[in-house]
Every structure is written in structure tokens, then in C-alpha cells.
């Protein structure tokens, strides 16, 4: 019996365990299903987010750079229909023969100009702009920027299809297209861009001024003809004569007569028939006022342009006049005075009177360095000691090269002079001459150089820092000069390059037999050490004085702040110490 009871208990326990295991399995399966569903949902959400991100991501398109050539060429294209509308719409409106005789041609030209206007609006939506220094390529941003601009409103007004009014008013009224004149700012932008690009800005300014004056005279001529038409042709001597007369009936004569009258009136340089009626008086007075403004504009603009064109010559002539006055005051010999004047003439005729540093000082350092490298780096690399130097040192030296021009017979250096600079021949010929200055030993030409060893001050050099030859200019010579101080200033930042240059200089002196090896092996010169110590002491003194000034300024500001804080504490009374309000 006991055994049966035990076996029944064990079976019950087994069943319970099996039930628990089943439940656990079911729960695990349910959890796994839930996890799978959650994973699927997460994957779906991630995919949807990716889709949204891809849809919402800005679409980058090919953008036209407003500083590029494509934009500039398009400005030229859009300027043509703008000029066409500004000159011919008013002429077609005033001279009826011009409109009616060539009606098909004008319709074709109007259609082409309208197409270019539409293309310009599309072009504007593809024109980039800078945002944080980068060109924006987002299509939506470019479109929104253009749509919100005032220019879009002008463009839309200019694209209103006013040609539909031809069907109501007739084909004799081209003035319905006056809204096309609102694109004039594209023409102005083209002229401004051309002025910055051209090498002859003054000539362009004068031509633009003349063009504006001609357009104003043209409009005034058209208005004069239409005014005469309104009063009546040939009604009096002021208006245009009767076109029934064959002499005044041709279209060319009508336009030429009107332009002649308009030019005389606006420039106020000729006599025109006096007005008769009151309306004619008002018309002439208005024309005279406009003419006065035009004349003042012409005189002012042309005067400023001429002064700008001659500014460099005036400055150069002022320098010559000052030196002439000085030489006459100091009673300089006539031969020397002639040499000075010839030197100035050579500078001006060969366009070498411009100071490079003054011209390039407005550029940033990087651009100035690039221009100097482009102009002078090849010349500097010809010098043996600079052939294998660091690029940074060469850039520093290129910026320190100073152009110098010598006249025929001038001595660049004489034997025994202290060498404080080296020279590189850019153009011209120099001769190494004897002490008499006549006998020539060697002729140096373009690309040659001399004086490079003396500016290094190499210890043990038998020549020291003295010149060993007389060098004289045969004709006019254009040289580059590099001073010792500029070289040493540049070498302070490049100690390895300095050691390399000194080693190259020693090798050159050894080849030429101009190096004293015993002196060179003695080590540093005590005089040089003393000079270095003196420089260090002087710099320390300067630093101490600056530090003392800073301390004094800091103490003064500290005392001022204390005084201000004390004032504020007196003015601001705490609420706890404030008197209580009286009780009723």
C-alpha cells in the first residue's frame, strides 16, 4: 500500500512539473512572438524614418556660381533683350511707321525677348548664394529665396502678358509692353561685373555714361515727336513740321530731326525754335531742367574719370617736381640732374614706377605671398645657396625682395664696401670692372647673382663682409635686392635652414680658397656672443617694462572696480533694513 501511495504521489508531482514546463514553454513562445513583433515594428519604423529622411533630405542640384563665368555670360545674354525693350518700345510707340511697317519682325523679336525673360527667372532659381562661406545647393532654399525677394515681384510684373491687349486696342499700341522695362537691373549688374573684370575700367565708365546719355536723348526725341503729334504737326514753328511735305515725311528724317532737337535742348549748346503755347513752354522748361542735370552729371563723371586715369601720373610727377626743387636748392651739378631725370623717365616709360608693396598691401598675406611666389620664386631659386631650402623660408624671402633700378654707369657695389645685401639680376647687364671703371673682366646678365656670401657673415671668410669686386651697370638694369637684416629675420624661424645655408657658404668659400680653416674651427666669436647677450638683455628690459605697465593697469582697474562696488552697496539698501510702513 505504501508503495502504491508513493508511486501515485510521484506521478502527481511529474504531472505538475510537466504542466509547469508546458506553461513556461508557452510563455517563452509568447515572449518570443512579442519580441519578433517588436523587432518587426522597429524595423518598419526605422525603414519609414529612413524613407522620410531620404524624402526630406535637401536635393542638391547643379548650381550656377554668381562669381563664375557662366553667370557673367548669362548676364550678357539677358542684357540684349533689356536694351532692345528700352530703346525700341518707346520708338515704336511714337513713330507709327516703325511699328506698322515691320509688325511681323517686332512680334518675333518680342516673343524671343519674352522667352529669354522666362529663362532668366528659371536661371535665378538655379543661382547659388553663400551661406557661412559655402555655396548653397539646396533646390528648395534657392527657390524660396528667389520667391521671397523683391526682384521676383518685378520679374512677375514684367512677365504679365500685356500683349493680349493688342486684340482689344489694335496693333498700333506697343506701349502696352512698357512693363518689360522692369528688368533694367540685370543690365546694370552686367555693367558692374564688366567693370570689375576689365583692365580698362575708365574707358568702360565713359562708354556707359555716353550710352545712358544717348538713351535719354533718344527718349526725349520720341516724346518730342509724340508731343508735336498731339498739338498738331506744323501748327507752329516749335513742333515738328507737317509730314505732308515730302522732305519731312520720311521716317529717317522724322527721327533725325527729333534727335537733333533733343540733343540741342538737353545739352543746352544750341538754339531751338521758341515755344508758342503754354504746354510747349512747360515741355521746354522740363527739358531744360533735365538737360542741366545731364550736363552736370557729364562734367562731374568725366572729370572724376580723367582724374582717376591720371592719378598715377600726377603722383609720379609730384615726386619728380619735389626732387627737381631739392636739386636746384642744393645746387646739384647739371650732369647729375640729367641722370636723375633720365632715371625717372626710364621708370615711367617702362612702367616700373609702381611700388609693389603699396599695390599689394591691401591683399591678405596668403594672396600676397602667392603673387610674390608666382613672380619672384623662380628668380630666387637660381641662387645656389637657396636651391635646396625649405619652401616656407623661400616664401619668407620672396616677400622681402625689393626691386631696384640702376642707370647706365651706376655702381652697384665697389671693392672694399661692406656687404649688407645681395643682388639678383632680373633684367639688364652688369660688368665686373677694374678700379679705373673702364676695363671689364666679366659681364653678368639675366639670372646672375652676387653678394650672397657676404650677407651670411661666415666665420673664417678671408674677404669678411667686404666686397671683393667693382660691379657697374652697363645700361639700365633691373635688380632684386635682399638685405642681410631681412635674411636674418627670416632665418630666426628656421634654425635648420640657417645651419644649412652657412654650411653651403663654407663649401663655396673652400672651393674658391677664401676660407681660413683655423679661424673657422675656433668656435663662436666672443663678439657675436656679446652681441647676443646684449640683445637678450634689451629684450628682457622691454619685457620688464611691459610687465610693469600691465601690473599698473591691473591695479588701477582693480581699485576702480572696488570703488564702484562700494558705491552700489551704499545705494542698494537691503529689504531687511528698510523702514516698515506706518500702521493705520
Q: Does position 278 have pLDDT exceeding 80, yes or no?
A: yes
Alpha-helical segments (H) within 248-349: 251-267, 278-309, 311-329, 334-349
Q: What is the pLDDT of residue 518?
A: 64
Q: Does position 84 have pLDDT exceeding 90, yes or no?
A: yes
Rounded CA separation 271/326 (Å) = 54
DSSP character for 281? H
Give residue 361's Cα distance to chain centre: 14
Q: Does position 40 have pLDDT exceeding 60, yes or no?
A: yes
Q: Does position 200 have pLDDT exceeding 90, yes or no?
A: no
Spell out the residues 6+ positions from residue 111 whose beta carbon is closer than 8 angstroms to its own.
none
Q: What is the mean pLDDT of residues 334-343?
A: 87
pLDDT band at 119 (very low <50, low <70, confident <90, very high): very high
| Closest residue by Cα to residue 424 from 442, 391, 397, 462 | 397
Q: What is the pLDDT of residue 500?
A: 77
User: Which residue would you say has higher pLDDT here, 493 or 163?
Assistant: 163
Q: What is the pLDDT of residue 421?
A: 87
Per-residue pLDDT of 433-482, as tens digits, reads 988 888 888 898 887 888 877 777 777 676 667 787 889 999 888 888 88
Q: What is the pLDDT of residue 222?
A: 94
Q: Go through 189-203 and write b for each residue having 16 or more CB atoms within 10 A of its CB, e for each that does not.
A: bbbebbeeeeeeeee
DSSP character for 405? E
Rounded CA separation 570/559 (Å) = 17
Q: What is the pLDDT of residue 160?
A: 92
Looking only at the bridges linking them, the beta strands covering 134-135 and 440-444 are unpaired
DSSP character for 363? S
Q: What is the pLDDT of residue 469?
A: 82
Q: Does position 576 have pLDDT exceeding 50, yes or no?
A: no
Q: What is the mean pLDDT of residues 69-81?
A: 93
Q: Does position 5 have pLDDT exceeding 60, yes or no?
A: no
Rounded CA separation 238/261 (Å) = 10
Spell out the residues 6+ positions from residue 219 whose beta carbon is closer than 8 angstroms to its own.
90
pLDDT band at 584 (very low <50, low <70, confident <90, very high): very low
pLDDT band at 65 (very low <50, low <70, confident <90, very high): confident
Q: Does position 353 have pLDDT exceeding 70, yes or no?
A: no
pLDDT band at 297 (very low <50, low <70, confident <90, very high): confident
Q: What is the pLDDT of residue 52?
A: 63
Torsion angle, alpha carbons of 508, 510, 516, 522, to 10 = 80
Look at residue 494 and give its three-state secondary structure. coil
Q: What is the pLDDT of residue 71?
A: 92
DSSP character for 199? S
Q: Does position 225 have pLDDT exceeding 80, yes or no?
A: yes
Q: Does position 352 have pLDDT exceeding 70, yes or no?
A: yes
Q: Does position 380 have pLDDT exceeding 90, yes or no?
A: no
Angle at 401 between CA 398 and CA 402, to 5 degrees: 155
Q: Does position 6 have pLDDT exceeding 60, yes or no?
A: no
Per-residue pLDDT of 548-562, as tens digits, reads 888 888 888 888 888
Q: What is the pLDDT of residue 460?
A: 67
Rounded CA separation 55/77 (Å) = 36
User: Which residue would you say has higher pLDDT here, 81 or 352?
Assistant: 81
Q: What is the mean pLDDT of residues 180-188?
A: 92
Q: Please provide the average confidence, as pLDDT, over all residues in the chain.
A: 82
Rounded CA separation 169/438 (Å) = 94
Q: What is the pLDDT of residue 520?
A: 60
Q: How many CB atoms lie within 10 A of CB 52?
A: 10
User: Which residue would you say has higher pLDDT here, 2 or 136?
Assistant: 136
How much of the chain exceeds pLDDT 70, in percent? Answer: 89
Q: How far apart are the first and last CA of the chain?
A: 103
Q: What is the pLDDT of residue 111?
A: 94
Amino acid at each position: 500500500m505504501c508503495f502504491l501511495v508513493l508511486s501515485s504521489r510521484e506521478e502527481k508531482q511529474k504531472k505538475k512539473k510537466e504542466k509547469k514546463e508546458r506553461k513556461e514553454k508557452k510563455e517563452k513562445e509568447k515572449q518570443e512572438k512579442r519580441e519578433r513583433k517588436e523587432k518587426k515594428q522597429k524595423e518598419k519604423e526605422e525603414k519609414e524614418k529612413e524613407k522620410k529622411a531620404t524624402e526630406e533630405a535637401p536635393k542638391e542640384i547643379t548650381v550656377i556660381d554668381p562669381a563664375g563665368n557662366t553667370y557673367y555670360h548669362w548676364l550678357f545674354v539677358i542684357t540684349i533683350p533689356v536694351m532692345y525693350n528700352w530703346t525700341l518700345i518707346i520708338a515704336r510707340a511714337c513713330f507709327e511707321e516703325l511699328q506698322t511697317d515691320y509688325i511681323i519682325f517686332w512680334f518675333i523679336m518680342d516673343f524671343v525677348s519674352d522667352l529669354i525673360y522666362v529663362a532668366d527667372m528659371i536661371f535665378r532659381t538655379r543661382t547659388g548664394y553663400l551661406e557661412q562661406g559655402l555655396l548653397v545647393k539646396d533646390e528648395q532654399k534657392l527657390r524660396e529665396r528667389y520667391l521671397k525677394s523683391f526682384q521676383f515681384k518685378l520679374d512677375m510684373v514684367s512677365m504679365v502678358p500685356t500683349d493680349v491687349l493688342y486684340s482689344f486696342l489694335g496693333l498700333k499700341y506697343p506701349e502696352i509692353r512698357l512693363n518689360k522695362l522692369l528688368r533694367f537691373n540685370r543690365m546694370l549688374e552686367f555693367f558692374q561685373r564688366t567693370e570689375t573684370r576689365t583692365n580698362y575700367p575708365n574707358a568702360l565708365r565713359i562708354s556707359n555714361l555716353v550710352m545712358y546719355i544717348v538713351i535719354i536723348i533718344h527718349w526725349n526725341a520720341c516724346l518730342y515727336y509724340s508731343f508735336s503729334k498731339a498739338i498738331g504737326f506744323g501748327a507752329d514753328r516749335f513742333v515738328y513740321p507737317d509730314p505732308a511735305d515730302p522732305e519731312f515725311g520720311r521716317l529717317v528724317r522724322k527721327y533725325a530731326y527729333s534727335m537733333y532737337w533733343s540733343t540741342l535742348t538737353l545739352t543746352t549748346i544750341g538754339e531751338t525754335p521758341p515755344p508758342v503755347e503754354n504746354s510747349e513752354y512747360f515741355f521746354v522748361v522740363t527739358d531744360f531742367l533735365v538737360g542741366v542735370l545731364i550736363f552736370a552729371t557729364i562734367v562731374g563723371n568725366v572729370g572724376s574719370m580723367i582724374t582717376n586715369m591720371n592719378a598715377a601720373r600726377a603722383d609720379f610727377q609730384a615726386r619728380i617736381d619735389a626732387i627737381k626743387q631739392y636739386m636746384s636748392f642744393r645746387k646739384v651739378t647739371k650732369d647729375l640732374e640729367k641722370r636723375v631725370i633720365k632715371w625717372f623717365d626710364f621708370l615711367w616709360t617702362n612702367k616700373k614706377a609702381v611700388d609693389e608693396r603699396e599695390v599689394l598691401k591691401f591683399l591678405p598675406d596668403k594672396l600676397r605671398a602667392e603673387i610674390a611666389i608666382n613672380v619672384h620664386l623662380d628668380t630666387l631659386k637660381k641662387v645656389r645657396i637657396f636651391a635646396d631650402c625649405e619652401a616656407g623660408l623661400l616664401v619668407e624671402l620672396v616677400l622681402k625682395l625689393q626691386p631696384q633700378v640702376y642707370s647706365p654707369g651706376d655702381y652697384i657695389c665697389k671693392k672694399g664696401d661692406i656687404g649688407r645685401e645681395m643682388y639678383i639680376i632680373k633684367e639688364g647687364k652688369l660688368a665686373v670692372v677694374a678700379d679705373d671703371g673702364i676695363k671689364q673682366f666679366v659681364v653678368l646678365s639675366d639670372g646672375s647673382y652676387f653678394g650672397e656670401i657676404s650677407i651670411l657673415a661666415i666665420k673664417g671668410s678671408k674677404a669678411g663682409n667686404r666686397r671683393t669686386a667693382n660691379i657697374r651697370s652697363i645700361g639700365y638694369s633691373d635688380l632684386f635686392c635682399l638685405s642681410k637684416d631681412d635674411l636674418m629675420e627670416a632665418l630666426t624661424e628656421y634654425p635648420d635652414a640657417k645651419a644649412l645655408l652657412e654650411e653651403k657658404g663654407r663649401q663655396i668659400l673652400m672651393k674658391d680658397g677664401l676660407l681660413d680653416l683655423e679661424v673657422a674651427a675656433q668656435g663662436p666669436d666672443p663678439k657675436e656672443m656679446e652681441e647676443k647677450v646684449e640683445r637678450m638683455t634689451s629684450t628682457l628690459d622691454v619685457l620688464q617694462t611691459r610687465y610693469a605697465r600691465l601690473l599698473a593697469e591691473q591695479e588701477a582697474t582693480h581699485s576702480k572696480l572696488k570703488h564702484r562696488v562700494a558705491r552700489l552697496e551704499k545705494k542698494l539698501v537691503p529689504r531687511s533694513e528698510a523702514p516698515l510702513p506706518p500702521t493705520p
